[in-house]
């Protein structure tokens, strides 16, 4: 096990969710029966699930000085997620997402990143890195300076203290900043991405080709998200293809971030490839069963119950790993 905090550098937001029966024709109205407001953002979602798994996390993010910021900090005070390294930018509005969710669970997101983009290198504290287990970066942090500059500085400090580095690429950032990602990937221990991102970066045509390319760049653990087709998780010696778990999907928001939490947790606790892939897929699937993400993500009882149900899965690779995960979490009592 790699002891210490997981540092997460990226966006935190207020997410608003608007479930609609169908996407309105341009110029017409879309009427909704209810609206939900939750705290969210890529790294906050990942931190939330890691917190439920008993892992200490610290957010390296930026918020404004407004009621949305107060809501984020008040909500996080009910968790073990460390917020003392969050930068406050008085002149900027806290990031906010407007998310339309259709009946198939697909979400269309409109984002004002606001204060997130203002996260400055001067906000990074070397003391946070001295005993950290991992630095995890959201690809969206590479979009604009000074947050982009903070990624570079954080990587420098992590290397100084021998802290492994993880990245969840994201498609939009890869499209906009491909060269920045090609440079950063060489510094990674863990790379979490999608096949489309790998196509954009290296012209990869298959999940295995994508994983192999990341590994050849120096990555130690590559995880390729494939949506409804599951995922592929690989190290140099072998790879595991994990099927998608069937759940009643209501909202896909946070599924990828939750998948990342599973990959990080499995790596930190020394799980084998099957165990890591199964946990990542299970958390990603569970995230789609609730509206929103953040603190709305399923609790420990839901995780254990879901894993118990998956013992009946018809894929041997899932059965074996689920049995291990149920025994592990039951004996260590790390979930909450």
User: pLDDT tens digit string along 276-294?
Assistant: 999 999 999 999 998 778 8
User: pLDDT tens digit string along 81-110?
Assistant: 999 999 999 999 999 999 888 888 787 889
* pLDDT at position 277: 95
The rounded distance, in Å, linking the Cα atoms of 88 and 122 is 12
Kindly indicate the confidence band of residue 124, based on its pLDDT and cuts at 50, 70 and 90: very high
* pLDDT at position 32: 85
User: pLDDT tens digit string along 126-146?
Assistant: 999 999 999 999 999 999 999
Regarding predicted confidence, which is higher, 252 or 10?
A: 10
User: pLDDT tens digit string along 239-267?
Assistant: 999 988 888 888 888 999 999 999 999 99
Give every CB contact of residue 317 below 8 A, 6+ residues apart in sequence.
Answer: 240, 241, 242, 274, 278
Kindly indicate the confidence band of residue 180, based on its pLDDT and cuts at 50, 70 and 90: very high
User: pLDDT tens digit string along 207-230?
Assistant: 999 999 999 999 999 999 998 889
* pLDDT at position 64: 98
Burial 113-132 (b: 16+ CB within 10 A, else e): bbbbbbbebebbeeebbeeb
The rounded distance, in Å, linking the Cα atoms of 260 and 327 is 22
* pLDDT at position 314: 62
* pLDDT at position 309: 86
Do the beta carbons of residue 38 and residue 294 sit within 8 Å?
yes
Kindly indicate the confidence band of residue 330, based on its pLDDT and cuts at 50, 70 and 90: confident
The rounded distance, in Å, linking the Cα atoms of 49 and 69 is 21
The rounded distance, in Å, linking the Cα atoms of 312 and 62 is 44
Do the beta carbons of residue 90 and residue 64 sit within 8 Å?
yes
Q: Which of 98-102, 233-237, 269-273 has the lowest mean pLDDT?
A: 98-102
State the average pLDDT over residues 151-178: 97
Asked whether residue 15 carries a pLDDT value surpassing 60, the answer given is: yes
Q: Which of 18-22, 96-100, 114-118, 191-195 has the lowest mean pLDDT?
A: 18-22
Q: Is the Cα torsion angle 135, 139, 141, 142 positive or negative in sign? A: positive
Kindly indicate the confidence band of residue 268, based on its pLDDT and cuts at 50, 70 and 90: very high
Asked whether residue 302 carries a pLDDT value surpassing 70, the answer given is: yes
Task: Tell me: cis bond preceding 175? Omega within 30 of 0 counts.
Answer: no
- Summary mean pLDDT of the chain: 92
pTM over 0.85: yes
User: pLDDT tens digit string along 27-82?
Assistant: 888 888 888 899 999 999 999 999 999 999 999 999 999 999 999 999 999 999 99
Regarding predicted confidence, which is higher, 198 or 314?
A: 198
Coil/strand/helix, residue 8: strand
Give one DSSP letter per residue of 70-113, joined into a string. HHHHHHHTTSS-B-TT-EE-TTSPPPEEEEEE-TTS-EEEEEE-
């Amino acid at each position: 096990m790699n002891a210490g905090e997981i540092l997460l550098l990226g966006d935190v937001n207020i997410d608003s969710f608007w479930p609609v029966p169908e996407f309105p024709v341009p110029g017409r109205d879309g009427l909704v029966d209810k609206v939900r407001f939750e705290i969210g953002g890529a790294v906050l979602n990942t931190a939330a699930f890691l917190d439920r798994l008993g892992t200490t996390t610290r957010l390296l993010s930026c918020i404004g000085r407004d009621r949305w910021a107060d809501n984020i900090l008040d909500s996080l005070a009910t968790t073990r997620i460390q917020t003392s390294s969050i930068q406050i930018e008085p002149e900027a509005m806290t990031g906010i997402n407007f998310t339309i969710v259709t009946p198939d669970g697909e979400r269309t997101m409109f984002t004002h990143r606001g204060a997130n983009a203002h996260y400055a290198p001067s906000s990074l504290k070397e003391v946070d890195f001295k005993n950290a287990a991992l630095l995890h970066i959201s690809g969206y942090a590479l979009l604009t300076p000074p947050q982009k500059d903070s990624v570079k500085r954080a990587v420098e400090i992590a290397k100084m203290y021998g802290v492994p580095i993880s990245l969840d690429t994201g498609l939009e950032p890869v499209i906009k900043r491909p060269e920045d990602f090609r440079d950063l990937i060489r510094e990674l221990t863990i790379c979490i991405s999608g096949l489309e991102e790998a196509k954009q970066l290296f012209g990869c045509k298959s999940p295995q080709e994508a994983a192999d390319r990341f590994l050849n760049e120096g990555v130690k653990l590559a995880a390729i998200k494939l949506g409804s087709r599951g995922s592929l998780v690989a190290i140099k010696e072998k790879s595991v293809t994990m099927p998608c778990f069937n759940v009643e999907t209501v909202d896909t928001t946070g599924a990828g971030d939750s998948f990342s939490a599973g990959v990080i947790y499995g790596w930190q606790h020394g799980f084998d490839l099957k165990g890591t892939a199964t946990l990542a897929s299970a958390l990603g699937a569970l995230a789609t069963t609730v509206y929103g993400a953040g603190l709305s993500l399923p609790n420990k009882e839901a995780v254990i119950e879901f894993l118990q149900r998956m013992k009946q899965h018809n894929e041997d690779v899932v059965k074996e790993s689920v049995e291990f995960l149920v025994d592990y979490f039951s004996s260590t009592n790390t979930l909450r």
